[in-house]
Structure formats: C-alpha cells, structure tokens
Chains A and B, each alone.
Chain A
C-alpha cells in the first residue's frame, strides 16, 4: 500500500500539474505532492526496517535496505527542493525569464522526474530500471532548456545526445545480461534482480564481464564519470537552479545505484575483482580531472557541477574498493553529498538572483546584503569541502583510511585532488561571501529553511549517526559487499 503511494503520488502530481501547473497556487500544490510522497516514503521505510526486504507485484518490485534508504533520501530532497523552488521560480517569473506555461511544464516535469527516479530505485527488473533511467533523462531535457536561451538549448542537446548514447550502451549491457541469465533462469524471470542475485555464481563470466563494462559506461555517463561527464556542468549551469539541485543531489545517486546493483552481479559471476578495479579507475579519474577543472570555472553553478563529478568519483571509488567499511562510507557520502550539494545550489540560486548573474566575479559581498544566503553558501561550501565537523568529513575520512589499508597507491592521488579542490572552491567562494556587495533586493522572500535544514542534518551526521540509521547503512553495505 505504502509502495503504491510512493509511486502513485508523484505520477498523479505530474498529471495534475500538467493541467493546473500554470495557476498561481501551483507551487504550493507541487510542494504538497512532494510532501505526500515523502510521508509515503517514510512509512515504506519504517515498514522495511521492521519487516525486512519485500517483493511486490509479481516480483516486479523489490525493496530492501539499500534502495529504501535512497527512496527516503530522494523523497526528502524532492520535498525540500519543491519548498525552495516556490519562491525561486516566482522570482524568475517576476524577472520575466519564465512564462506561466513554462512554469506548468516545470511543475509537471518535476513530479514526473521524481516518479521515474523512484521507479528506477524500486524496480526489481533490470530492463525496467533501464526504461526508468531513460525516462528520467527525457523528463529533465526540457527542464534544462526551460529558459530557451542559446546556451540552455545547447546544454540540453548535449545532455540528450550524450546521455542517450550512454544509456544505449547500458541497454546493450542489459541485453547481454539477459542473454547470460536466460540460459540459467529461463525467459520469464531472467531480468529480475533477486533471481539474478540468487544464481549469480552460475552466470557465464565472459558475457558478464562484457555486460558489466557496457552497463558501467552506460549508467556511468549519467553518474557523470569522466570521460563521459561533458553534459553535467552544462546541464547544471544552464537549467533552473532547482533542477540543478535535483540533478546533482538525486539523479546522480540513482544512476550510481544502478551501477552498484550491476556490480553485485558481476562480482558474483566473475570470481575476480574486475568490476571493482574498473569502478576504482573511473572513480579516481573523475576525482582528479574534476578537481583540476574546478579552478578554471567562472560560472558558480558550473563550479559546483564539477564538484559533483568529483564527489561522485569518490563514492564510485569507495564502492569499487568494496568491503563493509568502504561501502558504509560510500553510502554515507552519497547521503551527505546529496544534502550538502542541494543546499549549496539553493543558496547559489538565490545569490545569483540577487546579483543578476551566475558569474563568480559578479557575485560579491553576500554576507553584508543578506547574511542568511551568505552564511548558507559559506557553511555549505565548508561542508562540501570536507571540513569537520560536517558529515562529509566523516565519510571522506573513512574512505581515505580504508584506501590507505586496501589501496595505498590511491591515497596520495585522492589527497592531492581533495587539496586542489579545496583551494579552488574556497578561493572562489570566499570573495563571493565577503567582499564588497553588489546585490539587490528580491521581490519574494528567499527560501532559506531548506538550506539550513540540510546543513543541520549534515552536521548531525558528522557528529552522531543515529543507531538505527547506522544499522541500516550496515545492512545496505552488506548487500553491496
């Protein structure tokens, strides 16, 4: 029942807002749908925590600790983003950048995007997972080009083509997976993950290794792994800020979740560490390339787009290392990155509106003009850079110490990259927050509650992880292996 609501509410919201999305109250309706989704997700989570993994609807749906934690996170960030987007989109509307019809498109697609992500997370069918990932791209293409400027159209085109090509690779990987599985399982259940997981030792290793390469490249494109990351900074910079927040905070996680599910199967079939090595390689490459690109950015949203590539690289590396501690740290990092990065985008969005530009050099002295936005941005930046006592510090610390034990060669590379990233981001954000003000007043009150709510949670996760949450992470980490 809870489960039907988790998928049904955003779907219904998408349809309803396609009709009413241009009304003045549409933003509140949007938030209401997101809130209902969150409530349903929480009750689903409680049920899973209490009763353990569940198979529903003819085994098509599978909810276990690994994905239910992402379901809760997705619903939560979806809700706070809808809170943020209410004043943000109103201000864009008042500034004349968006018409009422565009707002309708935005609200409807926002809900449908949530729906596709939740479907991708909960489906047990690797084919449906693919379909949902592709649908997630499709729902966001028109959001990236929402402003219809030359740059946003280019970004959306790049996003569509690159992710389309990527996702086609993933489809080929899925076909190969089905091909290997069908011999063992027969036609009907060969794409169901639970069945695949049960017989993963019997799957043909040659086919599975090829399938995993295709799946990693395919879903990796959506994770934003280098060298397939080109769409990510553009899409983040040119789309409306709430879209940047959900792309960074949620979509990347969901794509990485798909990779992790495939890795579990590949590990079982291959009897070698090929999958882990590939993920470590791609992860490390992303961390290095992204941190060195950071210092060249002049657009604040692009800057944090590259920062997302860097952090996704760290998580991919952690999952590649494997083992209970690294997987635990990877899951924790996914959570704190989502929360922190979306909080940063909320603050950046309002800062850019205040200064009328996304260019770093034109945003100055936020702390004098509007202390909440300034502090939000500063604290968020410190958090994402891994300053204690925020949660990112805890997860990065765990990942680094595990790397020292398991993969000592990688530790200096990671440390240097993190140092470079710190210098680049802090050097750019510091004058934005302090320095001489250029900002003006906004026609609507900015939504700063979500920013501090997220940062508060990140702070809490850095100081103290509630026991049930830790247990939940531990269970999920055990599933990843």
Chain B
C-alpha cells in the first residue's frame, strides 16, 4: 500500500522535492562555509536550483509566465549577482575571511531547530495548498530562516549581504512552490529592487572600506544609546 502511494507521486513533484532538498542542503552549506569565494559559489548554486525548480514547475503546470521568471532567475542570480560579488571582492581584496560571531557547530544546531520550527509553521498552510509542490513550502521557509541566521551570525559585510540575497532566494522559492509564482509585474519589480540594491551596496562597500579600512561591521558599533 505504501509502495503504491509512493508511486502515485508524479515525476515532476519528485523532481521538485529533490530540488527543494538540494536547496536546503545548500543553505546549510552556506551556514557552514568559512570562505567568501565558496560562499558566492554556493549562492550561485542556489540560483541554479531556483532556476531549475521554476522551470520544472512551469513545465508541469503549463504556466507560461513562469518560464520568464525562470529566465530572470537565471540571468540575475546565476550570472549577474555572482559576477558583481566576485568583482567586488576582487576589487576590495577580501577573500578568506568569513568570521562568525558564534562557532559553526553551534550555528548548525540552531539551524536544525529553525528547520523543525519552519516545518511546523508551514504544516497547516501546506495542507491547504492545491499545488503539486506544496510539500516544499516548509523547506522554503527553512531556507529563509537559515539565511536570516547567517546574517545574524556573520560579522563581515559581504557575507551578511549574501545572507540577505539567500533570504530573497528562499522567498522566491516560497512564491513558486506555494503559488506558482507572483504576477509578472511584481516579479519584475522585485528583480529590479534586488539588482538596484546590489549596486547600491557595491557603492556602499567602498564607502565603508574607505572609512574603516575594513569591512568588519564590528567597527560599526559606535551608535548606542547611553
């Protein structure tokens, strides 16, 4: 009986579940990663997974606008943003230093707790979802939470931003997996915001470095209420 049930899941759904699992794995890998270059590559891999999953959902549900958002994902998250990030770290000459505020094993443990929490949070919503991809909503939420955790535990500016972008990846995955993607105009707007945000941050990194001779945001703890 359980075998039959297993077979009843269509191939598309299985592929999407597989991709969702990879996405979660990549989120954990980013959490554990100490080198900035590898972090960017992991971010790029996440972009690839997003592109693949969006394309598969598009094919499975025959939603044409999803092909466009898959294309935007490919251009923006696999090519453009990693390229900007690579250029930035080359120009800023920061390669090796990802320092964490909490040590990595502890961070991973917190991450596990977050995943369990997100799965529980997503459970009642997933049951309502009529989409073929509904079981992935919990994973999307977990990816958002893990990226958030990464932002909190990293002390350098560049990893924080990668955490921020990874969070956006998780949100995008939530949008495709629960609802087959947002309307086109909204997705374009979001993509534009992310891109402009990245460019502004690039400018900003140079300002920070010029001022502090480092991208360590621990220098930036002067503003306190006393």
Contact = CB atoms under 8 A, between A and B. Distances in A.
A82 interface: no
Contacts of A142: 200, 203-204
B225 A153 contact: no
Interface string A147-185: 011110111111011001100100110111011001100
Contact of A150 (B185, B189, B192, B222): B222
Contacts of A188: 183
A240 to B, nearest CB: 15
B17 to A, nearest CB: 19
B191 to A, nearest CB: 10
A191 B183 contact: yes
B200 A138 contact: yes
Given A131-B186, A161-B151, A172-B174, A148 B179 contact: no
Contact of B193 (A134, A145, A182): A134
A16 interface: no
A125 B185 contact: yes
Contacts of A172: 144, 171, 174
A141 interface: yes
Listed residue (B129, B196, B211, B212) with the most chain A CB atoms within 10 angstroms of its CB: B211
A151 B151 CA distance: 21
A127 B182 contact: yes
B62 interface: no
B171 A168 contact: yes
Nearest to A176: B125
Say which size band chain A's interface belongs to: 35 or more
B178 interface: yes
B223 A234 contact: yes
B128 A150 contact: no
A207 interface: yes
Contacts of B185: 60, 125, 127-128
A16 B222 CA distance: 37
B26 interface: no
A360 B174 CA distance: 48
Interface stretch (B8-16, B76-84, B160-168): B160-168
Say which size band chain B's interface belongs to: 35 or more
Contact of B204 (A135, A141, A150, A158): A141
Interface in A326-381: none
Interface string A199-216: 000001011001000000
A142 B203 CA distance: 9
A25 interface: no
Contacts of A190: 183
A178 B182 contact: yes
A164 B204 CA distance: 15
Nearest to A182: B179
Contacts of A475: none
Nearest to A178: B179
A426 interface: no
Contacts of A141: 200, 204
Contacts of A156: 204
A33 B192 CA distance: 25
A131 B191 CA distance: 9
B183 A187 contact: yes
A405 interface: no
A296 B180 CA distance: 50
A145 B175 CA distance: 33
A293 interface: yes
A43 B121 CA distance: 48
Given A151-B223, A183-B130, A293-B225, A135 B179 contact: no
Listed residue (B130, B148, B201) with the most chain A CB atoms within 10 angstroms of its CB: B201
A145 B128 contact: no
A168 B164 CA distance: 9
B138 to A, nearest CB: 13
B208 A157 contact: yes
A190 B197 CA distance: 27
A128 B186 contact: yes
Contacts of B197: 134, 138, 164
Listed residue (B197, B203, B219) with the most chain A CB atoms within 10 angstroms of its CB: B197
B69 to A, nearest CB: 13
Contact of A154 (B171, B175, B196, B223): B223
B182 to A, nearest CB: 6
B207 A171 contact: no
A142 B201 CA distance: 9
Nearest to B164: A164
A236 to B, nearest CB: 11
9 contacts: A125-B185, A127-B186, A145-B204, A168-B164, A171-B190, A172-B144, A175-B182, A178-B179, A234-B223
8 smallest A-B Cβ distances: which pairs?
Answer: A127-B186, A131-B189, A154-B220, A134-B193, A179-B179, A175-B175, A234-B223, A179-B178
